[in-house]
Amino acid sequence: MSTRRVVITGLGLVTPLGLGREANWQALLEGRSAISHITRFDTSRFPTRIAGEIKNFDPQQFIDRKEARKMDLFIQYAIAAAELAVQDAGIDLALLQGERTGVYVGSGIGGIGSIEETHRVLMEKGPERVSPFFIIQTIINEAPGHISIRYRASGPNISNATACSTGAHAIGEAFRMIQLGVADRMIAGGAEAPITPLSLAGFCNMKALSERNDQPEKASRPFDARRDGFVMSEGAGIVLLEELGAALKRGARIYAEVLGYGLNSDAYHVTAPSPDGDGAVRVMKMALDEGRVSPQEVQYINAHGTSTQYNDKTETLAIKKLFGDWASQLGVSSTKSMTGHLLGAAGGVETAFTALAIYHQLMPPTINYEFPDPDCDLDYVANRARPAAIVHALTNSFGFGGTNACLLLKKFE
């Protein structure tokens, strides 16, 4: 395999915590919850009435008004996050043009909001009233398609849909493309806009969501003994990856280096993780092995940490199996305690958060950690951010269908 080195030079974040790198990082350090009551539709008949909504998002900050009307919200979030990443990288737009720049952006659900609304139109007004833009509003590959057109990036143009591992897989596969010389730069990550009646009903009836409606800001509580499910959120997390030489040539700020990438399957169940943590152990080991890093050289893990009973218990077990005695020396935090779970966008957002943790040498906290669970007995950086010397960090993403992803990041030297 090629030894081309890959670095992260731009971070684009559109989350319930805010828009952009600075707003999100400040919120993380303050331990601020972005979870609130759903305002977009009547939730009175739903057992869960809370989510991580993005408030006051104006697509016209990033997209022409007429064009925005042809896009589902997840595409708007993807374009906004890509623009924020490019701006953050401070890159000359001419460098993004041509076949040496690609786009790899996925989504777990895609345009479900547009699907629901268009189905209503079909049933109430007939097929002749269905928008001619319906298909391109909803299909997942329109997110990277729009981004590619925007920057005239004519290299790889790819999307994926791997549930809650989507964003991390997209970044990992983009990393591979640069490693192998297919591209020199990749705009990569995930986007999701799942807060709709149908989506909420589906997750509610799976019994996957928290029902802590009386205290929304305390509902997402990974690893806490009183956790009762995840909190659905929306947004996008996109990074600009560059081949090291190209980044250095233009004097780029480098947040972190990507050293390794693991992907595999539990091959166990369509929703539940393997109870022995086997898939999580193997995927973390894959990332470490590629980076030639021993478990004892890792200081921080940005956990998948969804706030569900099985996920948090199993991820803790997997970390203890792989890291042995060193597991107690790790800082492990779940930023989902603040953002909620952005599904297909989570891996993109959390890769950016992990890069920021390395860049600033600060571990973001796991908020709402109040009641220890004997099955979750690691150092979860409880409730307060912590200064730390971080050289190597992992970020985990695990999805329905048993699909797993792990990225190994390193302080740039």
341, 376, 392, 406: which one is catalytic? Answer: 341
Alpha-carbon gap, residue 63 to 265, rounded angstroms: 37
- Reference 103, options 400, 354, 348; nearest CA is 348
Classify residue 286 by its DSSP letter: H
CA-CA-CA-CA torsion sign (61, 62, 66, 72): negative
169, 304, 392, 406: which one is catalytic? Answer: 304
Q: What does the block give as tokens for 120?
A: 């209503």
406: annotated active-site residue: no
Confirm if 308 and 208 have CB atoms less than 8 A apart: yes
Classify residue 364 by its DSSP letter: P
Alpha-carbon gap, residue 254 to 269, rounded angstroms: 39
146, 164, 169, 406: which one is catalytic? Answer: 164
Percent of the chain as helix, strand, coil, to the nearest 5: 40, 20, 35
Neighbours of 49 (CB within 10 A): 18
Confirm if 81 and 13 have CB atoms less than 8 A apart: yes
Which H or E run contains 32?
none
Q: Bridge partners of 8?
A: 241, 256
Confirm if 301 and 364 have CB atoms less than 8 A apart: no
Q: What does the block give as tokens for 152?
A: 């005239």
Q: What does the block give as tokens for 139?
A: 């299909």
341: annotated active-site residue: yes
Q: 383: which residues sit within 8 A by CB, 6+ positions away?
A: 31, 365, 366, 367, 368, 369
Strand ranges in 281-389 using DSSP code E only, listed in sequence order: 300-302, 331-333, 362-363, 386-387
164: annotated active-site residue: yes
Strand ranges in 107-255 using DSSP code E only, listed in sequence order: 157-158, 185-192, 235-243
- Supply the residues annotated as catalytic: 164, 304, 341
